[in-house]
Chain A
Amino acid sequence: MFINFQEFFNVLPIIIIATGIVLSLLIEMYSKKSEKILPWFSVLIFLAAGLHSLYYTKDVSIILQGMLATGGNVNVFHAIFTLGAAVVTLLSIDYIKKYGTYFGEYYIILQSSVLGMMLMASAKDLFVIFLGLELMSVSFYILAGMNRKKAGANEASLKYFLLGAFATGFIVYGIALIYGSAHTTSIDFITSNFAELTKSLIFIAGVLLFLIGFSFKIAAFPFHMWVPDVYEGSPTTVAALFSTGGKAAAFSAILATLFALFNGPNGNIFTPYLAVISVLSMFYGSIVAIAQTNIKRMLAYSSISHAGYLAIGLAAGNHDAVAGVIFYLAAYTFMNLGAFGIISLLEGKDETNLDINSYTGLGNRKPLLAGLFAILMFSLAGLPPFGGFFGKYYIFIAAIKADLTWLAILGVLSSAISVYFYLRIVVLMYFKPSENDFAIETNNNAMIAIVFSVLLVILLGIFPGTLIDLVTRFI
Chain B
Amino acid sequence: MEQNSLLTYLILVPLIGSFLVLFIKKEKANLIRYAALGISTIAFLLSLVIYFQFDSANSDFQFINKIEWIKGLNIHYHVGVDGMSLLLVLLTTFLTPLTLISSWSSIENKVKEFTFFFLMLEVGMLGVFISLDLFLFYIFWEAMLIPMYFIIGIWGGKERVYAAIKFFIYTMFGSLLMLVAIVWLAVYAIGPLGYFTTNLIELYSVAPQIPMNIQIWMFLAFALSFAIKVPLFPLHTWLPDAHVQAPTAGSVILAGVLLKMGTYGLLRFNLPLFPEASIISAPYISVLAVIGIIYGALVAMVQTDVKKLVAYSSVSHLGFVVLGIFAMTQESIQGAVIQMINHGLSTGALFLLVGVIYERTHTREIADYGGIAKLVPIFSFALMFASLSSVGLPGLNGFIGEFLILLGSFQSPVLHSWWFTVFAASGVIFAAVYLLWMYQRVVFGEVKNPKLDGLKDMNTREIFVLAPIFILIVWIGIYPTTFLKVSDKSTAKVVKQIYHPVKVSPVELGLNQSSK
Q: A residues near B, CB below 8 A?
A: 323, 378, 383-385, 389, 393-394, 396-397, 400-401, 405, 408-409, 412-413, 415-416, 419-420, 423, 426-427, 430-432, 464-465, 468-469, 472
Contact = CB atoms under 8 A, between A and B. Distances in A.
Contacts of B172: 383, 416, 419
B164 A431 contact: yes
A432 B165 CA distance: 13
12 contacts: A383-B143, A389-B139, A389-B142, A397-B196, A419-B169, A419-B172, A420-B169, A423-B168, A427-B164, A427-B165, A431-B161, A469-B72
Given A408-B183, A420-B165, A384 B176 contact: no
A431 B159 CA distance: 11
Contacts, number: 84
Contacts of A408: 180, 183
Contacts of B73: 394, 397, 468
What are the 10 tightest A-B residue pairs by CB atom distance, in nearest-first order?
A412-B176, A465-B70, A384-B139, A431-B153, A468-B72, A416-B173, A472-B72, A431-B161, A400-B187, A384-B142
Contacts of A396: 179-180, 183
Contacts of A415: 176
B145 interface: yes
A223 B70 CA distance: 36
Given A389-B142, A412-B179, A416-B169, A400 B184 contact: yes
Nearest to B152: A431
Interface residues of chain A: helix, strand, loop or mixed (majority): helix
Nearest to B190: A401
Contacts of A393: 135, 179, 183
B376 interface: no
A237 to B, nearest CB: 29
B147 to A, nearest CB: 11
Given A323-B72, A396-B183, 13 more contacts: A385-B139, A389-B139, A389-B142, A416-B172, A419-B172, A420-B169, A423-B169, A427-B164, A430-B154, A431-B161, A431-B164, A468-B71, A469-B71
B302 interface: no
Interface of B: 69-73, 75, 135, 138-139, 142-143, 145-146, 149-150, 153-154, 160-161, 164-165, 168-169, 172-173, 176-177, 179-180, 183-184, 186-187, 196
Contacts of A426: 149
A412 B187 CA distance: 17
A323 B69 CA distance: 17
B71 A465 contact: yes
Contact of B160 (A323, A378, A405, A431): A431
Contacts of A389: 139, 142
A383 B146 contact: yes
A400 B154 contact: no
Given A420-B169, A423-B165, A383 B145 contact: yes
Contacts of B165: 420, 423, 427
A409 B179 CA distance: 9
B187 A465 contact: no
Nearest to A386: B143
Nearest to B170: A416
B187 A397 contact: yes
Contacts of B183: 393, 396-397, 400, 408
B153 A413 contact: no
Contacts of B153: 427, 430-431
Nearest to B188: A400
Contacts of A383: 142-143, 145-146, 172
Contacts of A430: 150, 153-154
Contact of A431 (B72, B154, B184): B154
A413 B172 CA distance: 10
A409 B172 CA distance: 14
A374 to B, nearest CB: 9
A45 to B, nearest CB: 32
A276 to B, nearest CB: 20
Contacts of A413: 176
Nearest to A424: B165
Given A405-B184, A431-B154, A384 B143 contact: yes
A413 B72 CA distance: 27
Contacts of B138: 384
Contacts of B180: 396, 400, 405, 408-409, 412
Contact of A409 (B70, B146, B177): B177
A412 to B, nearest CB: 4
A427 B169 CA distance: 13
B54 to A, nearest CB: 28
A301 B150 CA distance: 26
Contacts of A427: 153, 161, 164-165
A423 B138 CA distance: 20
Contacts of B161: 427, 431-432
